[in-house]
Structure 1
Amino acid sequence: MQKLTNNQIAWRAAQDIADGSYVNLGIGFPEKIAQYQPPGREAIFHTENGILDFGESPAPGDEDWDLINAGKRAVTLRPGASFFHHADSFAMVRGGHLDLAVLGAYEVAETGDLANWSTGPKGVPAVGGAMDLVHGARRVAVITDHVTKDGRPKLLRRCTLPLTGVACVTRVYTSLAVIDIENARFVLREKLPALSLDELQSLTGAELLVPGPVADLVVPEL
């Protein structure tokens, strides 16, 4: 089955970030979004360990390991970047000063509930700052594969894993579609052109509402 790569999902999510937005990118996969900002548009990226306005990852061999994000990955700085104590960083989050948080997910419910940590042996060992982010940021989006590695839906009627937040997600960018969450329902906005509605529904664990024309999900080769 054709699907978008992680880089392509990150590119698609980056296209919707408004110019001048203050944005937190979750650990791992969401960090890729920083590489794909559209020309002429700027987002100011925030990290929980105390950096505002970091840029793309440095080239291999050019890392400065005094400059890392919350996921312990090396980052670069943009002109005017600032550093502060992590307590101040969380005050920014909890004070509602972030326009957007983009996180990964194990599961997303049609109600907007998010589960992005797990108590299992291979899961993220603790919820960390994500619980603050999903309730402090003005808007929360998720980027994720549409299904698990064994083909089970990640978009469900109700989450089965421990919740990170309740009714917090408003848009999901997956490897197959772009889906909004409105009035506790999944609303389909874009899908891969080669994928039929029936095929997409069979890979989704809750009903997809289709209120109007569905745009083609088209991204560049990356």
Structure 2
Amino acid sequence: MGLGIETRHQIARRAAKEITSGMIVNLGIGIPTLVADYIPENSGVMLHTENGILGMGGSPLAGEEDGNLSNAGGYPVTILPGASYFDSAQAFGIIRKGLLDVTILGALEVSGKGDIANWIVPGKRVPGMGGAIDLAQKAKKVIVLMNHCDKEGKPKIVDACSLPLTVKEGAHMIITERAVFEVIDRKLHLLEIMNPYSLDEVIAATGAHIVLPEKISVFY
């Protein structure tokens, strides 16, 4: 089952805590796009898009959308003072040079050691890999936002990915509707539990070994 809008925004709010003043950040399609709405004004954060914007703002108000201004997923956005436009070649040059401080993206599977599979399901028609491979390999910090389980209730955090990999050991943090994890030295560390879930519910829904902290925080 898909996540409700409030839950999606809860995940986005938690992810936004990882962004600090002055960072250059890329937001992927889906839940990651919501993160833009939780970055404080005048924070100095510059949001980057693969289709050629540096300095993207949050979502426009209803009725104020500009049909010529969108993110890489085609959704309407705003821009901040000082923003710049360029072609996709330069946008990917920024990525490949390692200038992004953080990329926040979705995933189909993530392994306990940080492998990410997010660009294709064998036998399914997909539009292409987009910037996923470049972003997951080159950003200084990679944060994955996703459902904890798939539509059949199977864990999406697993010991080993069954789908084609986007990057090996690329994820630094995983945030789902159930929990927040950090991948440290190829091990999955539980950082926080998302309200209203319990520790037992997180463990039961995770298909990889979890390193538990002495004290577990809850994010509301």
* TM-score (normalised: structure 1): 0.91
Cα distance, 1:57 vs. partner? 1.4
Cα distance, 1:73 vs. partner? 1.1
For residue 112 of structure 2, what is the amino acid of its counterpart?
Answer: E
Which residue number in structure 2 is paired with residue 55 of structure 1? 57
1:80 and 2:75 are equivalent in the alignment: no
Aligned CA-pair RMSD: 1.9
Which residue number in structure 1 is paired with residue 191 of structure 2? 189
Q: List per-residue Cα deviations over 1:140-169 (Å, max 9, x = no partner).
A: 001111111221101000111111111110
Structure 2: runs of 5+ lacking an equivalent: none
Distance 2:196 2:53 in 1: 41
**Taking every aligned residue pair, what percent have the same amino acid on both sides?**
43
The verdict on how the C-alpha distance between 1:20 and 1:144 changes in structure 2, with shifts beyond 3 A counting, is same
- Contact in 2 for aligned 1:118/1:125 (Cα 8 Å): no
Q: How does 1:1-222 map to 2 (within 5 A)?
A: 5-38=7-40, 41-120=43-122, 124-192=126-194, 194-218=196-220
Distance 2:204 2:107 in 1: 20
Q: Which portions of structure 1, spanning 4 or more consecutive aligned residues, are displaced by more than 6 angstroms?
A: none
- Contact in 2 for aligned 1:179/1:189 (Cα 8 Å): yes
For residue 205 of structure 1, what is the amino acid of its counterpart?
Answer: G
- Contact in 2 for aligned 1:49/1:70 (Cα 8 Å): yes
- Contact in 2 for aligned 1:24/1:47 (Cα 8 Å): yes
Distance 1:49 1:115 in 2: 22
- Contact in 2 for aligned 1:7/1:32 (Cα 8 Å): yes
Q: List per-residue Cα deviations over 1:58-102 (Å, max 9, x = no partner).
A: 122221111111111111110010001111110100001100000
Structure 1: runs of 5+ lacking an equivalent: none
The total of aligned residue pairs comes to 217
Give the stretch that moved more between structures: 188-197 or 174-183: 188-197
Distance 1:68 1:40 in 2: 21
Cα distance, 1:215 vs. partner? 0.8
The verdict on how the C-alpha distance between 1:71 and 1:198 changes in structure 2, with shifts beyond 3 A counting, is same
For residue 70 of structure 2, what is the amino acid of its counterpart?
Answer: I
- Contact in 2 for aligned 1:26/1:102 (Cα 8 Å): yes
Distance 1:128 1:163 in 2: 14
* TM-score (normalised: structure 2): 0.92
- What SS is found at the alignment partner of 1:23? strand
